[in-house]
Amino acid sequence: MRMECAIIGGGPAGLNAALVLGRARRQVALFDDNQPRNAVTKHTHGFMTRDGAKPEELRSLARQDIKKYPTVRTIAKRITGVMPILGGFRLQAGDGSLYECRKLLLATGLSETLPDIHGIRQYYGRSLFNCPYCDGWELRDQPLVVIAEGSNAFSLTRLAYQWSRNLLVCTNGSMRALTGEELQLLQRKGVAVSHDRIKELAGSEGMLRAVAFENGGSSKRTGGFVSPYWRHASPLGELLGCRMNESGGIETDALGRTSVYGVYAAGDASVIAPAQAVIAAGEGSRAAIGMNSDLAREDFA
Ligand SMILES: Cc1cc2nc3c(=O)[nH]c(=O)nc-3n(C[C@H](O)[C@H](O)[C@H](O)COP(=O)(O)OP(=O)(O)OC[C@H]3O[C@@H](n4cnc5c(N)ncnc54)[C@H](O)[C@@H]3O)c2cc1C
């Protein structure tokens, strides 16, 4: 099967790209294996007209929008291989089926690994989150923990301070997460810091109650933020040789074009940092405009 555009990833970035390309009357295949990063959470906040919507509800509404456009096919498969061919790309799905396209959008998102702390998974997405803009409002003015083992410990804490002044920063044994200057500033602001290793998180049904340390101490905390380790959910960008940006995401220009001709990227895959659904959707739209205008230019010549 050969189409004009293939989109890999059916999150906000890929779905919005499919919508724009469908409306541009392009032959599109949207591949998705339905493993979004935000599947752990119950609500998506900060998306206009849909503030608080369930992540799956948002995707389902987007899929309904796309159904109006007959040139868009949604294919529930994982793409496991991609290779350049004359005038485009050949994709291989997990079941061995092959597809060809002229332009390819990588909207594959991220996957994340949480710090190695007993019980942390059950709280993530319920009372422990990675992005204050997404979930800070729900945690406002509560006693919060900020779990960060890396050099972003200070910036995440400074941000979290906007939502609660009752903060405990836990570096989980990492002595290098905060500089001396940062420690002084946190102290001046009344933010507590612990370098002790966390033994476990206590609570029930995803709602945090306390952080227990290996040294026997504990602190009552009803929620907080954690800094996960992010990586690409799919290696396809690297396999194609796309240049990466400073954050480790796929580098793009203002219309989503990567360093490899005919390959575009949008959403979390292009920025390895806490991002938002509405930004991913916007980037999907932008990349779709890039793909369509490049096809128009090539075909009009
Ligand atoms: C706990 C948590 C809470 C969040 N809360 C909010 C919030 O309140 N508000 C907000 O705006 N944002 C929130 N986010 C962030 C938001 O979910 C992401 O920024 C957004 O989903 C990124 O969209 P995307 O399309 O780039 O990637 P994703 O939504 O991750 O979608 C990528 C899709 O690509 C598919 N895929 C990957 N590789 C392949 C492949 N090889 N073949 C086929 N399919 C593939 C995946 O299965 C997935 O369906 C939250 C994230 C988390 C983890």
Under CATH, what is the fold of the domain 2-112+229-300?
FAD/NAD(P)-binding domain (3.50.50)
Q: How far is the CA of 105 from the centre of ligand 1 (A)?
A: 15
Q: How far is the CA of 36 from the centre of ligand 1 (A)?
A: 4
Question: So what's the pLDDT on residue 182?
Answer: 98
The full set of domain ranges for the chain reads 2-112+229-300, 115-226
Is the beta carbon of 228 within 6 A of some atom in ligand 1? no
Question: So what's the pLDDT on residue 222?
Answer: 98
Quote the CA–CA distance of 14 and 280 in Å, as a whole number.
Answer: 8
Is the beta carbon of 128 within 6 A of some atom in ligand 1? no
**Which atom of ligand 1 is found nearest the CA of 15?**
25
Q: How do beta strands 198-204 and 207-213 pair? A: antiparallel
Quote the CA–CA distance of 65 and 16 in Å, as a whole number.
Answer: 10
Strands (E), 122-174: 128-129, 144-147, 167-170
- Show pLDDT as tens, one digit a residue, over the chain (301 residues): 689 999 999 999 999 999 999 999 999 999 999 999 999 999 999 999 999 999 999 999 999 999 999 999 999 999 999 999 999 999 999 999 999 999 999 999 999 999 999 999 999 999 999 999 999 999 999 999 999 999 999 999 999 999 999 999 999 999 999 999 999 999 999 999 999 999 999 999 999 999 999 999 999 999 999 999 999 999 999 999 999 999 899 999 999 999 999 999 999 999 877 689 999 999 999 999 999 999 999 999 8
Q: Which of 45, 167, 194, 170 is nearest to 120 (CA)?
A: 170
Positive or negative: CA dihedral 106, 277, 142, 189: positive
Question: So what's the pLDDT on residue 301?
Answer: 85
Closest-CA residue, ligand 1 atom 46, reads: 35
Give the count of beta carbons closer than 10 Å to the beta carbon of residue 249. Answer: 22
Q: Given this chain, do its domains 2-112+229-300 and 115-226 carry the same CATH topology? A: yes
What length is written for the chain?
A: 301
Residue 71 CA neighbour count, 13 Å, CB half: 16
Quote the CA–CA distance of 129 and 203 in Å, as a whole number.
Answer: 15
Question: So what's the pLDDT on residue 197?
Answer: 97
Q: Which of 69, 74, 54, 84 is nearest to 21 (CA)?
A: 69
In the block, tokens 């796929």 appear at 250
Is the beta carbon of 256 within 6 A of some atom in ligand 1? no
Mutate to test the pocket of ligand 1, among 38, 45, 105, 111 (most ligand atoms within 8 A of CB): 38
Match domain 115-226 to its CATH number in 3.40.50.970, 3.50.50.60, 3.40.50.12280, 3.55.40.20.
Answer: 3.50.50.60
What single-letter DSSP state applies at residue 139? G
Q: Pull the structure tokens for residue 47.
A: 């998306």
CA angle 271, 253, 1 (to 5 degrees): 85
Q: How far is the CA of 218 from the centre of ligand 1 (A)?
A: 34
Is the beta carbon of 127 within 6 A of some atom in ligand 1? no
Q: How do beta strands 2-8 and 98-106 pair? A: parallel
Strand partners, 75: 31
Quote the CA–CA distance of 157 and 92 in Å, as a whole number.
Answer: 43
Question: So what's the pLDDT on residue 1?
Answer: 67
Give the count of beta carbons closer than 10 Å to the beta carbon of residue 257. Answer: 19
Fill in the amino acid letter for 233: A
Element (H, E) at 23: helix 12-23
What single-letter DSSP state applies at residue 282? H
**Which atom of ligand 1 is found nearest the CA of 275?**
19
